[in-house]
Amino acid sequence: MTFKELNISEPILKALVSKKYVSPTDIQTQAIPVVLQGHDLLGIAQTGTGKTAAFALPIIQQLSQKELHSKKREIKALILTPTRELAIQIDECFKDYSKYTNLRHTVIFGGVNQRSQVEALRRGTDILIATPGRLLDLIKQRHISLDHIRHFVLDEADRMLDMGFIHDIKRLLPLLPKQRQTLFFSATMPQTIATLSKSILNKPVKIEVAPVSSVVDTIEQCLYFVEKPQKSKLLIDILEKEDEKTVLVFSRTKHGADKIARVLNKQGIGCEAIHGNKTQGARQRALTNFKSGKTRVIIATDIAARGIDIANLELVINYDLPDVAETYVHRIGRTGRAGNSGTALTFCSHEEYTMVKDIQKLTGKSLAVSY
């Protein structure tokens, strides 16, 4: 699946290319068509799954198409999120994804002077990202009107409740126009959240991305801190030690996959690389050789690896970290299938460390460090 096949329009596609987003994540594939069709959405998904783009892209698309009819800068989309950090992150996403449109976005949150936020609101905005307290304050002071909202996103509903925002939300709801699209996201769905969602949503489509913890429980995971120039040496050491095992090595780029294959072959470790620049025939041959045991090491990019279904894959090595935490879970889920034990090793350079933190947040597990 590609973003183009999801009917994402040209200016947004251009922005995604500059962000190096190659293909949509699970939640994006499921949510984007639903949101573009104008339905309400109940999304059960954690941070790290690409959920921000899942709501931001179709909202930007709908607003930029309607732009011609409504040039006035009034708030048309409201994203409500529990923390200041999340608000800033979501605002960054809107900035990146809408950079080739004429839409404006603004973020407001508490704990800082309101003056610059009020000034930004005065200049006019199409999209507002807000935490509940500051939003209510500025509404009370008449700096904000919610009368023209068409899209309302309630992000991280379970955290909102944990943080005691339920009363704020209940005060906000009657201020929103009845005619609107509502997108409701929560990582978990206890009874209180289900009840709240029912009171907010109108015939929602429910979307759930697989809880990740169950996948990763059976797989032994290890992290190696290693800088880029030393990664190939570490890979060779591991492959020479584990010389009986079938191994899938992940590379973030096609070029990287070829380079790893060259280095390993030079070292006498038989392997093949599969990625989008190889012909279908070459990829198929490489897979057949791998499955039959003729080659025991295969190097793949994330997209090429989608077609790989190998029953007894013993070891997955993340030569580089992926762009999205969820991809890590997909990668390591290739091993440890059907009750077999599996191991996943991850090579992390210092600039990749933030992704490890995202992965640990997503899986709820810390990665054991190997030396």
Query: Distances in Å between the alpha carbon of 75 and those of 101, 163, 241?
Result: 16, 26, 60
**DSSP element (H, E) containing 254:** helix 254-266
DSSP 94-152: HHHHTTTSS--EEEE-SSS-SHHHHHHHHH--SEEEE-HHHHHHHHHTTS---TT--EE
Q: Candidates 6, 30, 51, 78: give the one binding ligand AMP (CB under 6 A).
A: 51
9-28 footprint of ligand AMP as x/- string (CB under 6 A): ------------x--xx--x
Query: Distances in Å between the alpha carbon of 160 and those of 154, 184, 207, 249?
Result: 9, 12, 20, 39
Among 30-38, 41-49, 219-227, 272-280, the segment contacting ligand AMP (CB under 6 A) = 41-49
Q: Candidates 324, 344, 348, 359: give the one binding ligand AMP (CB under 6 A).
A: 324
Q: Candidates 42, 53, 87, 332: give the one binding ligand AMP (CB under 6 A).
A: 53
Distance (Å, whole) CA 302 – CA 71: 41
- Which residue, 47 or 186, has its beta carbon nearer to ligand AMP? 47
Closest approach, Cβ 311 to ligand AMP, in A, equals 28
323 near ligand AMP (CB under 6 A): yes
Closest approach, Cβ 56 to ligand AMP, in A, equals 8
- Which residue, 53 or 298, has its beta carbon nearer to ligand AMP? 53
What count of other Cβ atoms lies within 10 Å of the Cβ of residue 239? 20
Which parts of 159-178 interact with ligand AMP (CB under 6 A)?
none
Which residue from 141, 110, 112, 144 is spatially nearest to 127, judged by alpha carbons?
144
Q: Candidates 29, 30, 49, 182: give the one binding ligand AMP (CB under 6 A).
A: 49
Distance (Å, whole) CA 56 – CA 93: 8
- Which residue, 82 or 336, has its beta carbon nearer to ligand AMP? 82
Q: Candidates 43, 50, 82, 336: give the one binding ligand AMP (CB under 6 A).
A: 50
Binding site for ligand AMP (CB under 6 A): 21, 24-25, 28, 47-53, 323-324
